Amino acid sequence: MMNLDENNITEEVVRRIENTPDKRLKEIMTALVKNLHTFAREIRLTEAEWMKGVEFLTKTGQISDEVRQEMILLSDTLGLSQLVVAQNHSRPQGATEQTVFGPFHVEGARTLPAHGADIGGEAVGDPLWVTARITDLDGRAVSDTLVDVWQADSAGFYDVQDTDWKLDDAELRAVVKTDAEGRFSFRSVMPSSYPIPMDGPVGQMMRATNRHPMRPAHIHFMVRKAGFDTLVTHVFADGDAYLDSDAVFGVRSSCIGNYIRHEPGVTPDGTNSENPFYTLDYVFKLVRSEK
């Protein structure tokens, strides 16, 4: 069709993809085209604004690599990540809720014993001892479960944010497997609230829209076991100032943990600490997979 204009072009674009063999792809592309065109009409998008958008997305892709995922960060800060998570992981009451994956997970982290490992290394922060248990909704232990753990240090930095970072240098991340009672434990450092990376296109967007970049203190966990829905979640620190305004909309009240501060003294592993330290005890409740 020739002589397309702002009134008939949408219909023609949709017509040209109507023979898409994959039905789901056809559904997605049709809805995408219709909604993008509606958006452009609704706000009377100018050519200069459209080009600014193209430049923004180009820069977002260019700054991304196997370690830095600016596209995920963009999705997170627009609330899209949590929307998709929520509609794909509606869980019954009592189950641990799903939250955003975030841009800092790395495959291939070292596998450590179920108990006694120190994942903190030389990371900055007050000592933290984590004990946890994996159960099903009825409270039965889920043994031999793989648990990925990753977090920032108390200064708010993930190891991968070091420009010279290599997987062999990993700190504050590991994979552990639960014991026969579904338990695991490790030593780490107390996390703190921190800003998302603000040196790229997403940071420009956050400043332009007058939003703060802060995330409340948390540790990431991904729990995987055959027969159960994979759980990707955080355990947030109770009382954090940013629980109600997380920059990536990821907080769930059921995912807030009690990080208890202790005065200097005997720690959970029997050693003596001259500085304050923290403990966290948490139960993750999995839902059986329908597949």
For residue 163, what pLDDT band results from cuts at 50, 70 and 90?
confident
pLDDT of 287 higher than 70: yes
Whole-number pLDDT of residue 290: 73
Q: In the chain, what percentage of residues exceed pLDDT 70?
A: 99
How many whole angstroms separate alpha carbon 105 and alpha carbon 118?
Answer: 19
CATH number of 70-286: 2.60.130.10
Over residues 68-119, the pLDDT tens digits come to: 889 999 999 999 999 999 998 888 889 999 999 888 888 888 899 999 999 9
Contact at 8 Å (CB) between 150 and 109?
yes
The residues that bridge with 68 in the sheet, in sequence order, are: none
How far apart, in whole angstroms, are the C-alpha atoms of residue 222 and residue 177?
Answer: 12
* Domain boundaries, given as residue ranges, for the chain: 9-45, 70-286
Dist. CA 107–CA 196, nearest whole Å: 21
Assess whether pLDDT exceeds 90 at residue 275. Answer: no
